[in-house]
Amino acid sequence: MPFELNSNNSKQIKDLKLNTLLQITKAINNNTSTDKLLEIFREILETHLKIRKLLLFSESQSGWKCILKFGFNDEFNTINVERDLFPVKEMCTINLSEQTQIKSFEIIIPVFHKSKPLAYLLIGDLEDKVEVSPAIKHLNFVQTITNIIVVAIENKKLAKKSILQAALKKEMEFASQMQSMLFPSILPNDAQLNAAAFYLPQQEVGGDYYDFIWLNANEFAFCVADVSGKGVPAALLMSNFQANLRVLLFYIPSLTELVKELNSKVMASAKGEKFITFFIAKYNLKTQTLTYVNAAHNPPLLASGNTISELKIGCTGLGMFDEIGLIEEGILSISPDSTILCYTDGLVELENEKSQNFGLDALKDIIKLNSKLDMNSLNNLIIETISNYKQSRPYFDDIALFSLKIH
């Protein structure tokens, strides 16, 4: 630029201001990088306004950060934005008599969006100590270009955040699709068995799991599990657990030995930071015998005639200890037309607007009053009931249901 703002020619001053605004606008429209915008800003303030000392603070994800500085040593390191600058609500000069960390500066220009502070510009060591400096003369102009630059930088942050959020959303949608592939796509529905399942993760992906696996022509296994925690970490541990389970089931016929080996796998994967509650059962169609182990999971309900019992026998959860101590196996003869309902704690611990849990007794009542329903209809009724029960309260945990009727 051929002249400076300390010129006495009012037309030249207007032209310079206009050219400066055009330069900044063009840079913004061309999607100029934040570093380049700050370089333009610095040139205007240092070269044309003769500002010798400047700090520009902006908020980042890790807190307030100085994004532009020149003309000082280390005094900015002692400035605490929240303590020293938050009280400043509008452009002002600094009272040098005040004992403050910012007394070596002369002007503070805050930039707000509504009531939220976006940035603080501190300038000092101005030229023309005898006369009024150009920075003081054109303070409103300094404030204007500061606002424009800061808002442009904030828009870049928001755009980047929006792009990252869109990418994350796509990744989570893909992860959700991949997780859904871990669940059995076909469940039996014939003269011998009727099975149905429902899964509602609290986030895009979750840590609840159910499965149904044929072991041979006469025997199958089914299970339900719940990883401590939610979201991606829980889902990753659960997918690893499912892969181990599906392999080990065919090599370790004993449920006790299977649970021991799975505990070792969980300890190796989670390093003691997470654990899994787990219910695993095998059923033999010929002998009509159910063998199961409950590793600290919510007890599945067995409805037979007018009786509902809880399948509690087992051991501690997986991943809680390096080695599981005593493991007990439950063994039952299953009478015809019995129903087994497996679920995770997100179902019975769901709260209503009075912070009251849905509870196990309410779940038992649904099963008792609807013994003739097929399993898909039973699951739908349960989900509809808890949806009405919670009213406006959100789901706070994953929910998994696996229902099996043995004819």
pLDDT of residue 395: 85
Residue 97 pLDDT more than 70? no
CB atoms inside a 10 Å sphere around CB 221? 21
Q: What tens digit of pLDDT does each residue of 277-335 get?
A: 999 999 999 999 999 999 999 999 999 988 999 999 999 999 999 999 899 999 999 99
Question: When comparing pLDDT for 231 and 148, which is higher?
Answer: 148
For 271, what's the count of Cα atoms within 13 Å in the CB-facing half-sphere? Answer: 1
Strands 314-315 and 301-304, by their bridges, are unpaired
Residue 380 pLDDT more than 90? yes
Question: When comparing pLDDT for 396 and 130, which is higher?
Answer: 396
Axis-axis angle for helices 231-248, 139-180 (nearest 10): 20
pLDDT of residue 148: 87
Least confident range of 160-169, 250-259, 369-378 = 160-169
pLDDT of residue 402: 96
Q: What mean pLDDT, rounded, does the chain reach?
A: 84
Give the pLDDT band (50/70/90) at residue 265.
Answer: very high
To the nearest 10°, report the CA torsion of 352, 353, 355, 360. Answer: -10
As a whole-number percent, the residues of the chain with pLDDT over 90 amount to 41
**Stretch 182-200: mean pLDDT:** 91
Give the pLDDT band (50/70/90) at residue 9.
Answer: low
CA-based end-to-end distance of the chain: 90
Residue 186 pLDDT more than 60? yes
Question: When comparing pLDDT for 229 and 344, which is higher?
Answer: 344
Give the pLDDT band (50/70/90) at residue 91.
Answer: confident
Highest mean pLDDT among 102-106, 129-133, 208-212: 208-212
pLDDT of residue 290: 97
For 90, what's the count of Cα atoms within 13 Å in the CB-facing half-sphere? Answer: 1
Give me 310's structure tokens.
């809880």
Residues facing 283 on adjacent strands? 220, 290
DSSP state of 33: -
Give the pLDDT band (50/70/90) at residue 232.
Answer: confident
Least confident range of 179-183, 302-306, 371-375 = 179-183
204: which residues sit within 8 A by CB, 6+ positions away? 172, 173, 175, 176, 231
Least confident range of 102-111, 309-318, 368-377 = 102-111
Residue 3 pLDDT more than 60? no
Q: Give CA separation, 120 vs 55, 57, 60, 86, 391, in Å.
A: 8, 5, 13, 9, 45
pLDDT of residue 70: 84
**Stretch 148-169: mean pLDDT:** 78
Q: What is the pTM of this model?
A: 0.64
Give the pLDDT band (50/70/90) at residue 179.
Answer: low
**Stretch 149-157: mean pLDDT:** 84
The CATH code of the domain at 10-161 is 3.30.450.40
Compute the distance between CA of residue 302 and CA of residue 368 in angstroms, rounded to an integer. 11
Least confident range of 27-36, 177-186, 257-266 = 177-186
Residue 132 pLDDT more than 60? no
Compute the distance between CA of residue 101 and CA of residue 99 in angstroms, rounded to an integer. 7
Give the pLDDT band (50/70/90) at residue 174.
Answer: low
pLDDT of residue 130: 43
3-state class (DSSP) for residue 300? coil
Which ranges in the chain are annotated with CATH 3.30.450.40?
10-161
Which ranges in the chain are annotated with CATH 3.60.40.10?
182-406
Question: When comparing pLDDT for 54 and 356, which is higher?
Answer: 356
- Give the dihedral sign, CA 147/148/151/153: negative
The arrangement of secondary structure in 182-406, i.e. its CATH architecture, is 4-Layer Sandwich (3.60)
Question: When comparing pLDDT for 73 and 313, which is higher?
Answer: 313
To the nearest 10°, report the CA torsion of 111, 113, 117, 122. Answer: 0
